[in-house]
Amino acid sequence: MSTRRDANTSHAVSAHRTRGGLRAAGLAVPVAAALHAAPAVSAFGPLRNRLMPRLAGQGRRDHVALTFDDGPDHLSTPHFLRVLEERQIRATFFLLGSMLIRSPGLAREMAAAGHEIALHGWAHRPLLFRGPRATREDLARGRDLLADVLGEPPRLFRPPYGVMTTGAHLACRELDLIPVLWTAWGEDWRARATPRSIHDTVMTSLRGGGTVLLHDSDCTSATGSWRVTLRALPRLLDTFGARGWETGPLRDHGGPYPRRPARSPSSAVSAPTALYNG
């Protein structure tokens, strides 16, 4: 009789422990997901600009950092380079590895012209839906390609859609990358965007010391949207100048952003021809 009671007690204790373990495991999954996604709150512009000035790209008040995402695109990027060259303005271009591998020669031309080259990842996919390992692999693949093409690794990283995760922060630390988003954008990826709407949207939230996000490619935007952005660019540059702001890349922005000298045409590095074309 005692043996039977002992067996029943042992079974009950075991079942209780099993249920407790399952509950703990069930809690661990949402907790881990919450920790992974917590940094995504920085994607909310007003909160970022107020509480995370470094991540928002805030620099010296007499300067505006001009940045472009999603290139290099052989169909559109050269048009932006011509406008910037005419104005003697340099910018920061956040490149996608998946685009860079198609046009490495264009990226070398951009660096040789004095523009700052940064990383936008390999594929334009939300990091929120990628685990830490996949995130690191994506960033490392893009960084290594940039280093091969340009002869030096990038120092700045902007995540697709502006969404950081815990895995992205850890990967940036390991790969010696500084994440930076923006303080003002033109919403120029939209099909309904116009030169005026892009200008007005940027200027609504831009202050001296801000970082502006535009796109020099439509590879992840409405088809042909880059043409509208291109038409908006001269007026934006005029407005920046009228307000007394110098326009340039993040390396000239002050704050934590690494300052490197602009590359001269003679310092451009050719990538191995067996790997890349262009």
Q: Which of 36, 120, 215, 253 is catalytic?
A: 215
Q: Is the peptide bond before 72 cis (omega within 30 degrees of 0)?
A: yes
CA distance 186 to 163: 17
Q: Which of 69, 70, 188, 216 is catalytic?
A: 69
In angstroms, rounded to a whole number, what is the distance separating the alpha carbons of residues 255 and 55? 11
Helices 166-175 and 132-150, axial angle in degrees (round to 10): 40
Give the count of beta carbons closer than 10 Å to the beta carbon of residue 277: 11
Active site residue 70: no
- From CA 57, how far away is CA 68, in angstroms rounded? 13
**Amino acid letter, 110:** M
Q: At residue 93, what are phi and psi to the nearest 5 degrees?
A: -110, 120
Which DSSP string do the residues of 200-258 spell out, in sequence order? HHHHHH--TT-EEEEES--TTSSTTHHHHHHHHHHHHHHHHHHTT-EEE-GGGS-TTSP
232-267 b/e with 16+ CB inside 10 Å = b? Answer: bbeebbeebeeeebebbbbbbbbeebeeeebbeeee
Q: What is the C-alpha R_g of the chain?
A: 24
215 in active site: yes
Q: What residues act catalytically? A: 69, 215
